[in-house]
Structure 1
Amino acid sequence: MSIPVNGRTTMRRTGLSLPPDLSLSEWRHLGQQIHIIADSSAWWLGDWLIFGQEHYPDRYRRALKQTSLDYQTLRNYAWVARKFEPGRRRGKLSFQHHAEVAAAPEAEQDAWLTRAEEGGWTRNELRRRMRMERQSPETSDESAVVQVKVFAERRIRWQRAADIAGLGLMDWIVQMLDEAADDPVPRIPGPAAAPPALGV
């Protein structure tokens, strides 16, 4: 399937055909449009998954077949979309900006996004500033330090999952723990107990 754009540029699933006389301003405008579509698609998929969760059974099995995206990626999209009602999403910031602050309390999310918006920060700059504040000795004593020893093999698996999600390892761990706390599934004792089903 091909989609003509302004009669001169053609978009296909596997490529983009540009005319040789494309002006610099047209090229820039096209790039902005592509970026908006790419960034918006994460929100769209997240909202689509949430709708599926509320209306249809076996939502993620169907979603995986429809999108060819891996399960963890879909979980991340839905998790971030759930953390931000559409009215709280900042149009000037990327989905990844929102993902960086999603694990924080709502007031803190808004404060960081406002600072990022006003400062014109990239996602990486937002992440850097958040890390700096967490490491600052002036940080509130309300936070607690939790240390966990894990085998290297497990840490590598976690790091790989965090990389796929586009998060730092600690941010990914916090996200996973928050999800588990939001929807705890009690284990049924006994050898015949089945593992709990994962859901977003």
Structure 2
Amino acid sequence: MWQRLGQQLHRITNSSCWWLGDWLLYGEDTYPGRYREAVARTALDYQTLRNYAWVARAFELSRRRDNLSFQHHAEVAALSVTEQDMWLTRAVEFGWSRGKLRDMLRAHRNAGKQIEAGREVVDVRVTIASERHQRWKRAAEQAGMQLHDWIARRLDEAAR
């Protein structure tokens, strides 16, 4: 019973971020003159409330994932809708915590920066068995990476 209560409190806390964000968005549109005063009365940090509103604006109700935290959504809120959905789907499929999702996003961005840094790019082709391809593809997905990025990372690690 005590553990169930803790789970319930966690769900309420997570939901309250969405509720506050939605409340702020509604207030911006409906009560523009009284909005700042209402925000001041919440006793919460202004920037925290702005973040709640920003995330709520990025995810209409139908796109919010009940099985992921508000913080998961905050991690991907700056991305395009397509990218948001892709990363949230991965987080659900692989059971990623918010921290793991953040790490996967960082790894993905860093892999792209290496190519963008003006380095010469060479196309390498490898012929492998289908089952090996599937195994590598699953491993790349679990790491939150494109297959080619995952292969390049593994080869770089082996070459060190």
TM-score by length of 2: 0.68
In proportion to residue count, which structure has more strand? Answer: 1
Unaligned runs of 5+ in 2: 118-160
Q: Is the partner of 1:92 in helix, strand or coil?
A: coil
Q: 1:72 aligns with which of 31, 44, 47?
A: 47
Aligned counterpart for 2:34 among listed residues 58, 64, 82:
58
Distance 1:138 1:77 in 2: 29
Deviation at residue 28 of structure 1 after TM alignment: 1.5
Equivalent in the alignment of 1:183:
none
**Match status 1:27 vs 2:5:** no
Aligned partners of 1:61 and 1:104: how far apart in 2? 31
SS in 2 for 1:121: coil
- Taking the TM superposition and a 5 Å limit, the aligned residue runs for 1:8-23 are none
The secondary structure found in structure 2 opposite 1:39 is helix
Matched with 1:123 is 98
Task: Provide the rounded CA distance (Å) in 1 between the counterparts of 2:115 and 2:29.
Answer: 38
CA contact (8 A) 1:60 1:71 kept: no
Distance 1:60 1:85 in 2: 23
Residue 27 of structure 1 deviates from its aligned partner by: 1.2
Cα pair distance change 1:29/1:133, threshold 3 Å = same
Query: What amino acid is the match of 1:63?
Result: V
Deviation at 1:51, TM superposition (A): 0.6
Cα distance between partner residues in 1 of 2:54 and 2:114: 27
| 1:43 equivalent in alignment to 2:14 | no
Q: Is the 8 A contact 1:133 1:139 kept in 2?
A: no
Give the 3 Å change call, closer, same or farther, for CA 58–122 of structure 1 in structure 2: same
- Alpha-carbon shift at residue 98 of structure 1 (Å): 0.2
Paired residue for 2:147?
none
- C-alpha distance in 1 between matches for 2:115 and 2:68: 27
Aligned residues: 116
Distance 1:38 1:140, change over 3 A: farther
> Does the Cα contact within 8 Å between 1:100 and 1:127 map onto a contact in 2?
yes
SS across alignment from 1:78 = helix
Q: Which amino acid aligns with 1:58?
A: R
User: Which runs of no fewer than 5 residues in structure 1 stay unpaired?
Assistant: 1-25, 144-200
Q: How does 1:138-177 map to 2 (within 5 A)?
A: 141=116
Match of 1:107 in 2: 82
Q: Output one character per residue of 1:83-122: Cα deviation in whole Å (capped at 9) or x when no partner.
A: 0000000000000000000001110000000000111100
Structure 1 stretches of 4+ moved >6 Å: none
Q: CA RMSD in A?
A: 1.8
- What is the identity percentage for the equivalent residue pairs of Structure 1 and Structure 2? 56
In 2, Cα distance between the equivalents of 1:125 and 1:119?
A: 10
Q: Is the CA contact (8 Å cut-off) linking 1:46 and 1:81 kept in structure 2? A: yes
**TM-score under structure 1 normalisation?**
0.55
Deviations 1:40-75 (A, max 9, x none): 00000000000101100230221221x101111110
Q: Which secondary structure state, in structure 2, belongs to the residue aligned with residue 76 of structure 1?
A: helix
